[in-house]
């Protein structure tokens, strides 16, 4: 696994300044994505997984601010870049696809218009060449009638087709990093299978690195090389996909796996994680999971554990493993 690293996130903290005070959405997140690798971020709503990806893309809204930490992309800290340089990076080097393709496509422009726009801006080619490349890329994402779709408006396409168009736009400039934020959550399951298949083929072809944000453990098992489990703005477990599903160590990860209904096994009773995800305004002291943890100890309530290696390439943020580390 001596591949070069493409993206290194170090101790990222993204806070939102709202009327109700400062909300630490992402609180000290670190991870690395190597070239050609797919890293999945799993977590429930409010875990900070989407904010992590928006911080990397530089797409935080006015209230959100990167407090501290570094995001190193190909050797440069991109948090230090000017807005203009950041924009150059977006689209060219890194691209993003979102959950809801209908709201991320402009309804007033044709599909072709939107793909060739990206190509014209970033690759500095003329209109004709941009159109040619757009149609090529539409074909590549499995759209059979590419010429026809090129001239259609987004509302005429089905959900699956729209997501293919989004992928086409994202890949139009051959980015090195693709951030996919719940790209299949809004799709039907047979269409999801098609899109996941398509993404796998593209990764193989181009060696694109992917940061895959999802809440679906099935999708993680299908797509990921490395997995980051997030809870309440922090990484609680970080390891490769096989280790995670075989020897999950953090109580949260374990319960998450046990509470997922599985279609390939008989389940009598699902294990339950009691309670709900804590409100970011009122984070529990100590370990943030202690209010819901079945193995909670005295120590957990007041002292925050640190993310430690329990094996090579297996990091866990839990007091249960502190001695062994």
Partner 1 sequence: MTVILSVRGLKKYFDVTEGWWKKEKQYLKAVDHISFDVNHGETLGIVGESGCGKSTTGNLIMQLLEKTEGEIIFQGVDLSTLSKQQLRKKRAEMQMIFQDPFSSLNPRMKVFDIIAEPLLTHLNLSSEKLKEEVLSLMDQVGLDRSYIHRYPHEFSGGQRQRIGIARAIALQPKLIICDEPVSALDVSIQSQILNLMSKLQKELRLTFIFIAHGLPAVKYISDKIAVMYLGKIVELTTKEKLFSKPLHPYTEGLLSAVPLPDPMLRNKKDGVILEGDIPSPTNIPSGCRFHPRCPHAQEKCKNEEPTFIAHEEEHYVACHFPLKEGVGVLEK
> How far lies 292's CA from each of 65, 276, 287, 298, in Å?
29, 8, 10, 14
Site for partner 1 in 129-158 (CB under 8 A): 158
Site for partner 1 in 264-283 (CB under 8 A): 264-267, 269-274, 276-277
Whole-angstrom Cα distance, residue 25 to residue 52? 9
Least separation in angstroms between residue 251's CB and partner 1 is: 12
Any idea how long the chain is? 325
Least separation in angstroms between residue 72's CB and partner 1 is: 28
Least separation in angstroms between residue 199's CB and partner 1 is: 12
Question: How many chain residues bind partner 1 (CB under 8 A)?
Answer: 47
State which residue, 12 or 219, has the beta carbon closest to partner 1. 219
Torsion over CA of 208, 211, 215 and 219, rounded to 10 degrees?
Answer: 20
> What radius of gyration, in Å, describes the C-alpha atoms of the chain?
21
The answer to whether the CB of 157 falls within 8 A of the CB of 34 is no
**If we measure between CA atoms, which residue out of 323, 325, 314 comes closest to residue 249?**
314
- Interface segment toward partner 1; rule CB under 8 A; list 22-30, 84-92, 262-270, 309-317: 262-270
Least separation in angstroms between residue 86's CB and partner 1 is: 32
Contact with partner 1 (CB under 8 A) among 242, 247, 294, 306:
242
Least separation in angstroms between residue 59's CB and partner 1 is: 24
Beta bridge partners of 238: 228, 315
Least separation in angstroms between residue 162's CB and partner 1 is: 11
Phi, psi of 40 (to 5 degrees): -100, 140
**45 is a site residue for partner 1 (CB under 8 A):** yes
The answer to whether the CB of 102 falls within 8 A of the CB of 162 is yes
- Interface segment toward partner 1; rule CB under 8 A; list 24-32, 101-109, 116-124, 253-261: 253-261
Contact with partner 1 (CB under 8 A) among 78, 166, 230, 241:
241
Site for partner 1 in 174-233 (CB under 8 A): 188-194, 196-197, 215-222, 224
State which residue, 119 or 223, has the beta carbon closest to partner 1. 223
Element (H, E) at 223: helix 217-223
**If we measure between CA atoms, which residue out of 10, 14, 97, 103 comes closest to residue 63?**
14
The answer to whether the CB of 203 falls within 8 A of the CB of 40 is no
**293 is a site residue for partner 1 (CB under 8 A):** no
**256 is a site residue for partner 1 (CB under 8 A):** yes
Whole-angstrom Cα distance, residue 240 to residue 227? 6
Contact with partner 1 (CB under 8 A) among 88, 151, 262, 313:
262
Between vectors from CA 169 to CA 165 and to CA 174, what angle results, nearest 5°? 130
Residues binding partner 1 (CB under 8 A): 44-45, 158-161, 188-194, 196-197, 215-222, 224, 241-242, 245, 255-257, 259-267, 269-274, 276-277
């Amino acid at each position: 696994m001596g591949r070069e690293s493409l993206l290194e996130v170090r101790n990222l903290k993204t806070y939102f300044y709202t009327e109700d005070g400062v909300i630490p959405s992402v609180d000290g997140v670190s991870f690395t994505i190597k070239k050609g690798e797919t890293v999945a971020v799993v977590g429930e709503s409010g875990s900070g997984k989407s904010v992590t990806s928006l911080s990397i893309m530089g797409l935080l809204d006015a209230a959100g601010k990167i407090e501290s930490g570094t995001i190193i992309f190909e050797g440069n800290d991109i948090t230090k870049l000017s807005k203009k340089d950041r924009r150059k990076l977006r689209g060219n080097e890194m691209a993003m696809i979102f959950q809801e393709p209908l709201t991320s496509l402009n309804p007033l422009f044709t599909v072709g218009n939107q793909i060739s726009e990206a190509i014209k801006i970033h690759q500095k080619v003329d209109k004709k060449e941009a159109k040619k490349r757009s149609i090529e890329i539409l074909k590549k994402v499995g759209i059979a009638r590419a010429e026809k779709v090129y001239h259609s408006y987004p509302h005429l396409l089905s959900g699956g087709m729209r997501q293919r168009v989004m992928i086409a736009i994202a890949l139009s400039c051959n980015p090195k990093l693709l951030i996919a934020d719940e790209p299949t959550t809004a799709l039907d399951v047979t269409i999801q299978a098609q899109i996941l298949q398509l993404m796998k083929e593209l990764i193989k072809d181009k060696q694109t690195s992917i940061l895959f944000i999802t809440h679906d453990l099935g999708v993680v098992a299908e797509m990921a090389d490395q997995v980051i489990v997030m809870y309440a703005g922090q990484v609680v477990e970080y390891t490769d996909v096989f280790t995670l599903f075989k020897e999950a160590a953090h109580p949260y990860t374990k319960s998450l796996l046990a509470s997922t209904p599985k279609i390939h096994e008989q389940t009598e009773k699902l294990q339950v994680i009691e309670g709900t995800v804590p409100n970011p305004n009122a984070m529990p002291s100590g370990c943030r999971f202690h209010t819901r943890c079945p193995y909670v100890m005295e120590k957990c309530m007041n002292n925050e554990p640190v993310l430690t290696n329990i094996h090579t390439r297996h990091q866990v943020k839990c007091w249960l493993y502190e001695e062994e580390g």
